[in-house]
Every structure is written in structure tokens, then in C-alpha cells.
């Protein structure tokens, strides 16, 4: 799996992504049951509210070989401060459209 993670720009000040890296390393959370090696090819943020720049981020991640794009848990679940992204649905639709059918989209990481 060539994985790219997109996180919430607003949450970066609260979280350096440690739980994402642990989930990849230990194959827990959304990565439980993944048998192939997981290669992290990018870890970027959404580009800031209201999330429109995520399209540009996805483009760059795809150029670099991502076959799976995960939204970090901060976006849809609101970790670690209990504040989910109000634009998560629209952002997911943009990512799906940009990535196309061959790319797997994951809604959270851990
Ligand atoms: S659009 Fe959502 S994910 Fe991006 S910075 Fe704003 S709240 Fe965070």
C-alpha cells in the first residue's frame, strides 16, 4: 500500500500525528488486517478551511504514487479536541472526484 494521509490544518498545533504513525507501524485502526507493507508517501494537511485546497494536495500525492488516501482521525472524528471538520463531507467528495476509482479512500486512521 502506498499511503498518503491528509490531516486538518487547524489541528496541527495540537497534534504531531503520532497516533497515525503508530497505527501504520502496528497495523491497527483502519490498517488492521492489511497484509502488504504500508509505505507512507506523503503526510500533508488539507490546506486550511474550507478545505478546497485539498484537491491540489491530492494531485501532488497521486503524482507521487499514492494508491490509498486516508483522512487523519482529526477530520471526521475530531480527535484530539472533539471538533470534527464541518467541511469533511464536501472535502471527501472532492478527494473522491480527484482521485478516481482506482484509489482507496479511508475515512480515519486510528
Ligand atoms: S477544512 Fe476542516 S480539516 Fe481543513 S483546516 Fe478546516 S476544519 Fe480542519
CATH number of the domain that residue 19 is part of: 3.40.50
Q: Which domain holds residue 14?
A: 2-106
Q: Give the mean pLDDT of 6-21.
A: 96
| Best probe residue, ligand 1, of 7, 56, 85 (max atoms within 8 Å of C-beta) | 85
The pLDDT assigned to 21 comes to: 98
Output the pTM of the full model. 0.96
With bands split at pLDDT 50, 70 and 90, how would you rate the model's confidence at 89?
A: very high
Q: Give the mean pLDDT of 47-75.
A: 98
Q: Give the mean pLDDT of 56-76.
A: 98
Strand, coil or helix: 5:
strand
The pLDDT assigned to 77 comes to: 95
| Best probe residue, ligand 1, of 12, 50, 51, 84 (max atoms within 8 Å of C-beta) | 51
**Domain total of the chain:** 1
Q: For ligand 1, atom 2, which residue shows the shortest CA distance? A: 85
The pLDDT assigned to 57 comes to: 97
Atom of ligand 1 nearest to the CA of 10: 5
Question: What b/e string do you get for 23-56 counting C-beta neighbours within 10 Å, with b at 16 or more?
Answer: bbeeeebbbeeeeeeeebbbbbbbbeeebebbee
Amino acid at each position: 500500500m502506498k499511503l498518503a494521509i491528509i490531516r486538518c490544518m487547524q489541528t496541527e498545533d495540537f497534534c504531531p500525528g503520532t497516533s497515525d504513525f503508530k497505527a501504520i507501524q502496528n497495523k491497527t485502526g483502519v490498517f488492521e488486517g492489511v497484509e502488504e507493507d504500508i509505505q507512507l508517501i506523503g503526510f500533508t494537511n488539507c490546506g486550511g478551511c474550507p478545505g478546497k485546497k485539498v484537491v491540489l494536495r491530492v494531485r501532488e500525492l497521486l503524482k507521487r504514487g499514492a494508491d490509498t488516501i486516508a483522512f487523519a482521525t482529526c477530520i471526521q472524528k475530531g480527535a484530539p479536541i472533539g471538533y470534527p471538520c464541518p467541511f469533511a463531507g464536501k472535502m471527501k467528495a472532492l478527494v473522491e472526484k480527484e482521485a478516481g476509482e482506482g484509489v482507496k479512500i479511508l475515512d480515519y486512521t486510528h
